[in-house]
Structure 1
Amino acid sequence: MPAVSLENVTKVYGGDTVALDDVSFEIPEGEFVVLLGPSGAGKSTMLRVLNGLTQPTEGEVIINEKPVRGERSEVGMVFQMHYLIESMSAFKNALTGGLSRSNVAQSLLTMNSEEDKRAALEALDTVGLLDEAGQRAGSMSGGQKQRVGIARALVQQPDLLLADEPVSSLDPKAAKDVMRYMKEAAKERDLTTVASLHQVNIAREFGDRFLGVRDGELIFDGDREDLTMDVVDRIYYGEEGNEEGQNLATTAPERGDADE
């Protein structure tokens, strides 16, 4: 059985805004999938449907053979904005990933289990920040903060990791560092991962499989060799492509924003 299945999923907002239109796909365990598409294509809605924050209007989402009915603790999330508590250390921020298994009051009083503490240190080690575990999050660089966000998600011990434009605000070097650590974490833990990106060059470097979304429809599903510039042009500009040709196709997605 696949780790993740979307079966004829449609999501309509406000009665007439179709965010996802009859989308179906399966993801085997451990695969690293990248979502590509222009702003407003439906990528963020797809991630919200996968983590149970948004219910489909039609169709079904299945994770580990169980239909998704509301937010799932076994689904970890890395956000575009890291949402760290900047007055707390990297270690304490990573610890908050264990909230799904701990009493909130206990967590706030730092009465975390030894298991969670070990998991936080292991996760920080995985993302290359073990030596910075005691550093206050507010003094970290943007790339380091995002890596703490990945560590926090790993402490949750998820079966599925989702990332919504995790490197859109970072410079190219920091973006590649974050993606490299995320990919290594996924490989190390055989963790099924779905990340939405707008930087096509970074997507090519780190993705195993690519899903192209446009106007709520899944218009491409393939591997790196299949992701030609003609395909990129079709994903971002439609069937006719862009009159400026392939040169623009390589650069315009770099300037794109996360979809609403």
Structure 2
Amino acid sequence: MSTIKVENLSKSYGDVQALRDVSFEIPDGEFVVILGESGAGKSTLLRCLNGLTQPTSGSISIDAEEITGPRDDVAMIFQQHYIIEQMSAYGNALTGSLNRTSFGRSLLQWNDREDKLAALEALDTVGLLDEAGQQASQMSGGQQQRVGIARALVQLPNLLLADEPVASLDPASAESVMGYIRDAADERNLTTLASLHQVNLAREFGERFLGMKDGRLVFDGYREDLTIDVIDQIYGDIQTESIRSGQEVDA
């Protein structure tokens, strides 16, 4: 578990300002969904949170310790799962322990017993224990992303980040994968931030929501606060009309 505090965070890439004076605080164990159009600053925010990108100004702290670079206790699930297709689901999950063992030992599966058990437990969490020995290249896109989730869990994080984790999946697979992410976070009481572009999916699985627009935080609230007017503020009229008509919303 981790308490996250973001204060006056800004990030510029030359003349482009990706984040503009963003501030919020997330208590231990909360599941937060970041909403916003493409280019709103969602991915930049997550990259700052995992230490891969340094902010231009402002600060991020985890349990009162400022983030200055990548941390072993922060795990990331990406849109592209980046698993090793020639390895089994179990072998891929086991690479999540690279922060505790060498790549060579992990490749040969010479990991400690605790890491091996953690890999099996993580695969069980995402419903893939029976497929532990299956080669990743033979798995569907949804299964491969679940292997990516298992790998992140084996890292034994205190903070779990997910950057558009279901953007490339069909609706049924996307709902399934989001369910596994939410279940994993709940089981481990993991502080979690996930960016999503499907508003209806976000409303189904999110607990708290951060709305981003043009690099600014324009909304911070819970499910009951995520009204049509708020979605209009984040996305605009086209997405709002889609929600009113009952259609799935992709932004």
Using structure 2 for the length normalisation, give the TM-score: 0.96
* 1:9 equivalent in structure 2: 9
Write out per-residue CA displacement over residues 127-176 of structure 1, whole angstroms, 9 at most, x where no aligned residue: 11100100111111111111110000000000000000000111111111
Aligned to 1:78: 77
Aligned residues: 250
The residue identity in structure 1 corresponding to 2:9 is V
- Aligned twin of 1:123: 122
Correspondence for 2:241: 247
Structure 2: gaps of 5 or more residues: none
Query: What is the CA–CA distance in structure 1 between the aligned matches of 2:2 and 2:107, rounded to whole Å?
Result: 37
Contact 2:210 2:217 in 1 (8 A): yes
Distance 1:26 1:33 in 2: 11
How has the CA–CA distance of structure 1 residues 62 and 252 changed in structure 2, closer, same or farther, with 3 Å as cutoff? farther
Partner of 2:224, secondary structure, is coil
1:41 is paired with a residue whose SS is coil
Please give the per-residue CA displacement for 1:99-151, whole angstroms capped at 9, x wherever unaligned.
01112221122211111100000000011110010011111111111111000
Is the 8 Å Cα contact of residues 2 and 159 (structure 2) preserved in structure 1?
no
User: Percent identity over the alignment?
Assistant: 64
Aligned equivalent of 2:20: 21
The residue aligned with 1:139 is 138
| 2:160 equivalent in structure 1 | 161
In structure 2, C-alpha distance between the alignment counterparts of 1:166 and 1:69, rounded to whole Å: 25
Taking the aligned partners of 2:115 and 2:240, their CA distance within structure 1 comes to 48
Match of residue 196 from structure 2? 197
Equivalent residue number for residue 60 of structure 2: 61
State whether residues 243 and 249 of structure 2, in contact with CA within 8 Å, keep that contact through their aligned partners in structure 1.
Answer: no
- Distance in 1, matches of 2:21 and 2:243, equals 27
Is this contact kept in 1: 2:6–2:24, CA < 8 A?
yes
Structure 1: where are the runs of 5+ without partners?
none
Question: Does the 8 Å contact 1:232/1:249 carry over to 2?
Answer: no
Which is worse superposed, 101-110 or 148-157?
Answer: 101-110
Where 1:225 maps in the other structure, the secondary structure is helix
Q: Is the 8 A contact 2:73 2:157 kept in 1?
A: yes
Deviation at 1:253, TM superposition (A): 8.0
Partner amino acid for 1:104?
Answer: F
For 1:61, give the aligned amino acid. I
How far did residue 4 of structure 1 move?
A: 0.5
3-state secondary structure, aligned to 1:163: strand
Alpha-carbon RMSD: 1.7
What's the TM-score, normalizing by structure 1?
0.92
Distance 1:46 1:224 in 2: 21
Measured after TM superposition, the shift of residue 2 of structure 1 is 6.6
Amino acid at match of 1:126: T
Verify the 8 A CA contact 1:236 1:249 in the aligned structure 2. Answer: no
Partner of 2:219: 220
CA distance in 2 between counterparts of 1:42 and 1:126 reads: 31
String of CA shifts for 1:77-101, please: whole Å, max 9, x gaps.
0000111111110000000000011
Q: Give 1:209 deviation, angstroms.
A: 0.1
How far 1:230 sits from its partner (Å)?
1.3
Q: 2:105, 2:111 within 8 Å by CA — same for their partners in 1?
A: yes
Runs of 4+ in 1 over 3 A off after TM superposition: 248-256
Q: CA deviation at 1:246?
A: 2.9
- The CA deviation string for residues 191-239 of structure 1, in whole angstroms up to 9 with x for no partner, is 00000000001100100100000000000000011101111111012xx
In the aligned structure 2, how far is the partner of 1:161 from the partner of 1:148? 15
